Chains A and B, each alone.
Chain A
Amino acid sequence: MITRDGLDQIAAEEQARQAEHKQCIRVCTAAGCLSQHSNQVKEALEAAVAEQGREHECHVKGVGCLGLCSHGPLVAVDPDDVLYEHVKPEDATEIVASIGKEPVERIKCPTDVPFFNRQVKIVLENCGIIDPESIEDYIAHDGYQALATALTTMSPAQVIDEVLRSGLRGRGGGGYPTGLKWTTVAKAVSDTKYVICNADEGDPGAFMDRSVLESDPHRVLEGMAIAAYAVGAQKGYVYVRAEYPIAIERLKSAIRAARRAGLLGRNILGTDFDFDVELRLGAGAYVCGEETALMASIEGRRGTPRPRPPYPADYGLWGEPTLINNVETFANIAPIINRGSEWFASIGTENCKGTKVFALAGQITNTGLIEVPMGITLREIVYEIGGGVPNGKEVKAVQTGGPSGGCIPAEYLDMPVDFESLKQLGSMMGSGGMIVMDSSASMVGVAKYFMEFSMSESCGKCIPCRVGTAQMYNLLTKINNGEATYRDLELLKELCDLVRNASLCGLGQSAPQPVLSTLRYFEHEYLDKLIDGPLAMAPAEIEGQEA
């Protein structure tokens, strides 16, 4: 069993061990860089260090995501503070030889650019710094200190109060205040309660949760343990997509290490608090990101949602009160406990505190993982951090929120990014996928793409969603092929309204969203494709329907 002093001792030992090596070469081993063979780069660097006889001073370490995926594989060198891009195994000798001297200019990646210095890192602060496979490295970076503080100096009510005052809102997309959710579960009367981490990152175009789990898995486990202490749960589940093999492996090894260290299991840190975590694999069903469907899937059944209420906070997994939060939400907990709610509340906007991690992708120069304060404008994200659209093209729209979100046209790029503004624009924050489209993208095509997605991911339980999405898909196909009339477009709008209001769960309710938002801003693209053309309709009629 480990106590708080033991934790400090591990941290001190690990820091001393790391200090023995004056230099550290960090190689990104998250999925993006791995697929560009960063493991071979790491081996080559290790060989080069050995060959040049510098093992005693130089340490090669595999770390999580360094952020700029489009320039991978990435390698960072400390304390020279140099970042290398597109590194190949052949470059290893040169890199090692240059340490402490002039960096290798040929592959140097500038770090004093907005992509790096405009970001504010809370969730990702350890990503790319620590070795995700080493619990000691995490502890040496203040890991599990927040859990120790919560268990030994705070009551569960104080923990909840701290989270409430921080203003943290759920990062899974809905933006429900995390503290309120915790309060409800804490109030529920039951001997058995569960904490679930929703890592079923189904939105196509989003990879924030994957990166956090691959880069800093202990941070999520610590957040879950603190949540369990606050609400009175004994058992936790991480529900993670089977499509993320690396994240699964690292989570498994993190859970094992935490159990061995006595940070999960019975009598954690010498207190009478027991908590253990189990991993559950998804199997490729988008609807399982919906909380009631997710719980059905953990129970081993088909992942179909059920009507709410009762909410999971009262009647969740196996009928017991259950707290479900997303990966990024849990990753925010430890910093809030460590640095206090006031510090957290000082970042972001009035109603949206803290930061948000986005996965920047699509037609943009710098693709990768970014973390920005709430309230930053889309323009800053796209043009400054993202470096704009390649080949001198213009941004046409930014898609956020995946199949439940919408396309924000270029003229609204100055809107601040927070839950309310995005909703106002007919899109949503979503889990954090942000896809930039240039002038070559067809908006009808995009709407059709998302409808195909919703149609095939509909679980089939309720008719508005099962049949409605299929009919909307047919109509969109007809429009896209130039075979539709104005009447078809009207039908499509009616269907959007029906499916949105009559579906059982979030999937169906938000399935029309991509159509509605593209209709709102790019209706001319639809009209251009109609047989009876843009001239055949009365403009007043359109406006009336939009309202």
Chain B
Amino acid sequence: MYFEEIQEGMAIPSATYGPMDRYKHIPIAIILRDTNPLHLDRVYAQERGMPDVVQQGPLNETFLYRFLTDWLHRPWDLRKTKIRFAANVFPDDLLTCGGTVTRKYYENGEPRVDCQIWQQNQKSEQILVGEATFTLPERT
């Protein structure tokens, strides 16, 4: 995909990930140095009204980023993200990510594309909603 081919309103190809794996919470907790029991201890999570352990928010984001950066020419063509955490993810959930182009323009001579991005689970509940800005190469 090149900048010239982008049109406002066009969909970015969606991608589905999962089922989510509770055992991935452990390396993520180690990487984040965050042992919040909400992510690791089912009894603790259930005492707080959750059906199961809650997947770490950054791990939910990982899949939204992958959906977008796997589609870009180069991963670091990403320029900005603004993401709202709307709901929790639990083990065995499936996460579908999608997006829609909202604007194409130049900033400081660089081609830029703004888009709405979202992630939802298998029940069509919004998990993450937000915006992203990226650059794409020009054909000419």
Task: Verify that A and B bind, or say they do not.
Answer: no
* Interface positions of B (Cβ within 8 A of A): none
